[in-house]
Structure 1
Amino acid sequence: MSIKELNKEKLDDFFQYLKIHLSENGQKGITLFQPLSKHQSALSDEWKAKFEDGMNKKNEEIGWRKIWVAINEENKIVGHIDIRPQNQLNAEHRVLLGMGVDSSFRNLKIGQTLLEFIIDYCTNNSKISWIDLQVLTDNIPAIRLYKKMNFEQLSITKDMFRIDNISYDYTSMTLNVEN
């Protein structure tokens, strides 16, 4: 498996992967990994635009996003990780993390490998001091992985989402990557 920065040539493959990934949210015993109901778990044009617009911007520009994909031996995207800025004044030293792994390739340490990669990338970027993330509190496997990678739990927002008449809490975590 290799990790490569997403480029325009792979963008359609990425959107196909993301479409399948989102369609699995809360399905067939898979824990919700996005705060979306089953019928909302689709790749919208708005989401596509956020990814595409963000990756076309330089890191200093508002709305930038860097995306990397995990590619297996068959040249298939099996996971992704991305960072983007906190959209807060004077918070340029912090990034928000997003990631996912194809359900057929979970428990193969792909998520851990992606996190190791992004932590190394951020540690070696003098402009980034903190990696922040939010995760549904019920997503125990993800929280376990983040804790293993030394992310610190900051807070739990009770009843953050109500999806299909079920209340979900939201956990905020962070990792300091300053040298």
Structure 2
Amino acid sequence: MGVIAPVKTLTKDNESIYIRAAQTSDGLQMQRLTEEVIKEEDGLIMTMDDFTMTVEQQAEKNGYFLQHPKAITLVAERNRQIIGILTIEPQFLMKTAHRGTLGLIVKKFFRSQGIGKALMIQAIRWAKIDGQYEKLELEVLENNLQAISLYKRLGFELEGVKLCGVKHDNTYENLHQMGLFLK
């Protein structure tokens, strides 16, 4: 199930944060943070036109992930405010069910302070202990060098590049596919 014991950690600035499983009651904060990060139009594939999840749908998804044996949503919380979200979602085909898809966002003000790393470490730990997955996968924009550097430090390897995988108005950007074997 998509649950971990809450973990206290410190940012690079020695601020306390908590990493924990998202609850249904987190729907509003998670929906607002996701909108905020998407509106930056930097580092994510999704646009505001693509994001249609309501607060109620986010809360429902959190509840589903708490019960699903192969899904998890973790949040990073500082002073009761959610500042980061990480999800691992399962593949639904039998031949790809050994892989989980990872997604990560962090509030702009808190980037480069170790929040993404703390979320990733807990997610990888959960995936290894739970044993549901043999591999975690993610996609990241080629110009998101900080994220790529973090993923590499955590053991993810570049597995492929989708040339012109993302279109911004009339320009294109490559999309890196990265993976981490857990076994």
**Among residues 108, 131, 152, which one is paired with 1:126 in the alignment?**
131
Q: Which amino acid aligns with 1:157?
A: K
Q: CA deviation at 1:47?
A: 7.2
Task: Give the fraction of aligned pairs with identical amino acids, expressed as a percent.
Answer: 21
Contact preservation (8 Å) 2:86, 2:104:
yes
- Residue 89 of structure 2 aligns to a residue whose secondary structure is strand
TM-score, normalisation: structure 2? 0.81
Q: CA deviation at 1:53?
A: 4.8
Shift of the 138–70 alpha-carbon distance from structure 1 to 2, 3 Å rule, reads: same
Q: How does 1:67-146 map to 2 (within 5 A)?
A: 67-72=73-78, 74-146=79-151
Point out where structure 2 has 5 or more consecutive residues left out of the alignment: 1-16
Contact preservation (8 Å) 1:18, 1:43:
no
Contact preservation (8 Å) 1:51, 1:65:
no
Point out where structure 1 has 5 or more consecutive residues left out of the alignment: 26-31
Q: Does 1:59 align with 2:68?
A: yes
Q: Does 1:21 align with 2:28?
A: no
How many residues align structurally? 165
Contact preservation (8 Å) 1:22, 1:43:
no
Q: CA deviation at 1:87?
A: 3.9
Q: Which amino acid aligns with 1:118?
A: A
TM-score, normalisation: structure 1? 0.83
Aligned partners of 1:166 and 1:97: how far apart in 2?
Answer: 26
